[in-house]
A and B are shown apart, each in its own frame.
Chain A
Amino acid sequence: MSRPRGAAGRGSPPGEPRLVGFLYVLPALAAFAVFGVWPLLQTILFSTWKWKGIGTPEPVGLENYVDVLGDPDIYTAFLRSLVLVVFAAILPVCIGLLLAALLSRVRIRGMGTYRVLLFLPQTIAMVVVAIAWGWIYSRDGIVNEILRTVGLGGVARAWLGDFDLALPAIGLIGTWLNSGLCMVLFVAGVQKIPIDLYDAARVDGAGPWSEFRAVTLPGLRNEVIVALTLTVIFALRNFDLIWITTGGGPGDATTTPSILLYHFGFEARRLGTGSAIAVVMTVVILVVSVILVRLGERGDEGVAR
């Protein structure tokens, strides 16, 4: 599309992109610029200010970054994000792969219904999810009721109020949310793998595990990358789920970078510090995404070993 201006005039061969093409992408481009690029640039600008949100901002250069990166809390917060990545990204991908492997050779009646059920969490507003799970995990919630019924009442507790277990408990909500997404992606992907490959693997002598490694997993490579990218980003930047369920507590047991960001930006009225955290998060997420996408491409190039 990016042709020199002059070349797009008269005499350009039919079918060549013309300037009018830019008109078609303009609405999307405008929306992206206003709601994506502009706030990003603003945030970067804010991150170089000392500002309470009102009054006159004071430019301080990179001081906010020095503060943020010098604060051990931010590293602890990122470590907590890592725990969430395990629960909300890695675990769902594994569960999705397991399901896909099981479904790769068996046709299940009513698959469509199961698919809808498993995908349903993705369609529910996060606020609703968070409040519902708040009930489920509460002192008299379903989890504890079940534990008491089977005689494990001693284990029952306010899960989201437990210093050690609040973070994994939130992580499991992420597992529940994202497993359906992974499964839908992978089951669709498995159906694209030619059945002949499975037959060839069986004739070659592959058991279920080698069959999975030689056929299913390589065949799902792109889907796995997409799923990992989506879920890792979810885990790294999630705010609403944590904020509504625990608000970052108890203490700071579930305080992730996004909670810190909110704390500094809107509670402590240190908009510059909050913006700096936002920029750091953006960079981290960007780097992780690029690594994941690269991993996907490497498998596609067909480089000889």
Chain B
Amino acid sequence: MATVTFDHVWKKFGDVVAVNDLNLEIQDGEFMVLVGPSGCGKTTSLRMIAGLEEISDGSLRIGDRVVNNVPPKDRDIAMVFQSYALYPHMTVRDNLAFGLKLRKTPKADIDKRVQEAAAMLSLENLLNRKPRELSGGQRQRVALGRAIVREPAVFLMDEPLSNLDAKLRVQTRAEIARLHQRLKVTTVYVTHDQVEAMTMGQRIAVMSEARLQQVGTPQSLYDHPANRFVAGFIGSPSMNFMNVTASGTGDSVVLRNDAIEVTLPEPFRGRLPASGNVVLGIRPEHLAMSGASAAGTLKGGADVVEYLGNEELIHVNAAGQDIVAVIGSEHRIRPGDQLNLQVPLEKVHLFDPESGVSLSPMAGQAAG
């Protein structure tokens, strides 16, 4: 068991910066998800923990030990690869035991640990098979088992579910979560899928363009995104953004564009940029049907309606902008319908149009 600490860590490949001044502390026993679009530096960060990638600058600690120059085998970590990376010519048993054999673990001990891991992952009947005789899900479990038998201080997982089909992915997601609850080993989990991140992570670190954007619990990222990138990346379908202009003073500041007119929510008072231009963000699931064209509503025509069963995903054309709303399917909205969508003021996010930073006083607290 150990903490993992990035202290001003940089990674450069030639002139390309892959990880830009990363500061992140992963607690002992925590399940931390690194999430972001491809090329954001999340896998590189994970590989730096593993020791498979050298650190260009800064220091990386596992526990109290600076591991910048410690080879992978001495870091007390185990890794699950996206491709599983099972040794093709070895049986499942040998795959599980390989790392222990290299560490000169006594034979009896190896057998015991392999049996335990196999039981935990229901691999007992597969121990004498070779990887090519296993299904994708089984290979995935062997890869997990290979990490478990090592009893490492830190588990590293690099998109372990991305080669599984949708159903198996949901199952394995729960299985990994259960394993973590049982073993309570510090786990760093890399994914590009925000749903995986939200469902599995105790805390999530969102990365984009080599930089850490925000760290926090799934809820704090959802409720208080620190910037426009996090707001758009976390949550599905993703948040709607509209450019609006503030007018008026004091208590009666109004944000408006051609499709919307809302009063400035209280927490944002006095926090708007001098230009008065801001980006308003509202999540699709927070928009609600409203009867009249009252104040605080968004007006537009339904463009495309995607029926999902209990609800409908509606693309609304609001003054030329595509706005997505999730509405209960009992409303039976059809393409072409004119809609008034209620914008709940307490759920509105505002961002600086230049920097994309959230203007909410709460966002600052959630970050870090």
Contact = CB atoms under 8 A, between A and B. Distances in A.
Contact of A304 (B50, B71, B91): B91
B79 A203 contact: yes
Contact of B89 (A205, A206, A221, A304): A221
B347 interface: no
Interface of A: 194, 196-197, 199-206, 210, 214-215, 218-219, 221, 299, 302, 304-305
9 contacts: A200-B85, A200-B86, A203-B51, A203-B73, A204-B102, A206-B73, A218-B89, A302-B132, A304-B130
Interface string B45-76: 00100111000000000000000000111000
Interface string B76-94: 0111011101111111000
B337 interface: no
B99 interface: yes
Contacts of A304: 91, 128-130
Contacts of B47: 199
Contacts of A305: 91, 128
Contacts of B71: 202
A88 to B, nearest CB: 28
Given A302-B133, A304-B128, A199 B99 contact: no
B103 interface: yes
Contact of A202 (B72, B91, B128): B72
B98 interface: yes
Q: A-side binding surface: helix, strand, loop or mixed?
A: helix
Contacts of B132: 302
A1 B252 CA distance: 86
A199 B79 contact: yes
Interface residues of B, number: 31
Main secondary structure of the interface of B (DSSP, over half): loop
A201 B128 CA distance: 20
Contact of A197 (B87, B91, B133): B87
A194 B87 CA distance: 10
Interface string B100-126: 001100000000000000000000000
A305 B90 CA distance: 10
A205 B128 contact: no
Contacts of B82: 196
Contacts of B91: 304-305
A203 B77 contact: yes
Contacts of B98: 204, 214
A61 B47 CA distance: 72
A215 B87 contact: yes
Nearest to B50: A203
Contacts of B146: 200, 204
Contacts of A201: 87
A204 B86 CA distance: 11
A79 B112 CA distance: 50
Contacts of A219: 88
A181 B72 CA distance: 35
A202 B52 contact: yes
A205 B73 contact: yes
A197 B81 CA distance: 9
A196 B89 CA distance: 15
A196 B128 contact: no
Contacts of B52: 199, 202-203
A200 B79 contact: yes
Given A203-B52, A210-B102, A196 B73 contact: no
Contact of A218 (B79, B81, B88): B88
A159 B98 CA distance: 49
B65 to A, nearest CB: 17
Given A202-B51, A202-B72, 15 more contacts: A196-B81, A196-B83, A199-B50, A199-B81, A202-B71, A204-B146, A205-B73, A205-B99, A205-B102, A205-B103, A206-B73, A206-B102, A304-B91, A305-B91, A305-B128
